[in-house]
Each structure stands twice: as C-alpha cells, then as structure tokens.
Amino acid sequence: MKKKLQLLFVLVISFALATVGLVACGDSPAEPNEAPELEQDIEEAEEGEEASDEPADTLEALLAAVQGESSASAAYEAFAAAAKEEGYEGIARLFQATADAEAKHAEDEWALALELGATERPVADTPEVGTIEENLQAAIDGETYEYTVMYPAFIAIAQAEGLDEVAQLFTLVSAGEAVHAATFTYALSKIDDIEHLDSFFAEIFRCVDCGDIQTERPDECKICAASGDTYVAYN
C-alpha cells in the first residue's frame, strides 16, 4: 500500500516540477540556468505592473529572498513543535525537514548577497502558529507564492542584470519550493488519517543542495542532480 501511495506522491511531485519548467521523474536534470516556465508572471514583473512591491535590483531581490526563507524556516520550526505536541509525528518530521531546507536556501542567498555588497542580514518574522490545518495551509500558500510569483520575478531581475549565478540559485530554490508545496498539499489532504501520515512520513529525505524533499532516498536529485547518498534522513 505504501509503495502505491509513494508512487502517487512521486507523480504529484513530478507535476509540481513540471509547472516550474524543470524535470519530471525519469528525465535528465534541467540546465542550471533554465528559468521556470511561468511566462506570464515574468512578463508582468518585467513590465513593472507591480513596481511598488518589486525589488529595484538583484541585491534587493536577494535580501527579500533571505528574509522570506528565514521567516519560512522559523515558522516551520514552530509548526513542527506544535504538530509534535498534537501527536502528528509525521507532519512534525515534514515541517522540520522543510525548515532545514528553507534555512539552507537563506544561507545560499545571503552568501550571494554578501558578494553584491550586503552588510545587514534581514531577520525572520515572528511565527504565528495556528491549528495543524491552518499551519499546513499557510505553508502551502507561502510556497506556492514563492514558486509561481516571487522567484520568477527575481529570476527575471537577475537575468536582466547578467547575474547568472543568482538566477541559477533562484531557479533551483523555486523548484524546491514547488516540491514543498506539493508535499504540504498531500499532507493536508490526509489530515484526518494521522496513522497514514505517520506511516507515510515515517522517514523523510532532504537534498542538502537544493532542498528537495522525498519520502524515499532517490538515486539522484531530480532538481539539482546531487547524489541520493548526500540526502539527510529524518526518522
């Protein structure tokens, strides 16, 4: 039964990756500088339709990303503690693994921000913890915004300035957020079956490079091509 559910889960993840223009299971990894295929969002960002909210340059985009990823990590840490207290061990494990992925995203983005002259690191927002369902929905909403709106706009800004390394990082992070959104969506869909959730998320694996989250150790990361041996296990 778990094998069938994991196959379904892989298909959901593959669909999420396809929405950002990256590989589905069985395909070769996308080029590192290949931006997500979210043309409408990128065009809107380039046309300045939301100029008041859009970063003025790549450094501002990096700082906004650091703040967002740091806030997500802090929130997921708090959500993990709350889930564990309520007896949702599987979801607690999922939140913790994803919190660590977001922290890695923030570190990578801050490193590039320093190269562009940043001096003051943005701090995380104070987490607001709700019910288990509210926390999962907040996570879904945040991750979906990041991979459908925020990162496509940031990628366009970095590419326009010729900062390919930053654009590449934003592309990888965006793909990871798509996986996170799909994983949280699956968890919320099974929220009434705690026994299933604890079994399905009994072990979680996180790619140390891009933040990919899986329920079985892969041979190779479908996002960044890192070896499955490098994945961190949570059990």
Q: What's the maximum distance between 2 C-alpha atoms anywhere in the chain?
A: 52
Beta strands in 15-146 (DSSP E): none
Instruction: Give me the domains of the chain, ranges plus CATH numbers.
Output: 2-22+39-118+128-234 (1.20.1260.10)
Query: Which strands sit side by side in the sheet containing 204-206, from one edge to the other?
Result: 213-214, 204-206, 232-234
Residues 6+ apart with CB under 8 A from 118: 59, 62, 63, 110
CB-CB contact of 188 with 133 (8 Å): yes
Per-residue pLDDT, 107: 98
pTM above 0.85, yes or no: no
C-alpha span between 146 and 148 (Å, rounded): 6
Question: Average pLDDT per run of 10 along the chain, which is 235 residues long?
Answer: 41 41 34 35 43 74 97 98 97 98 98 96 95 98 97 97 97 97 97 96 97 96 96 97
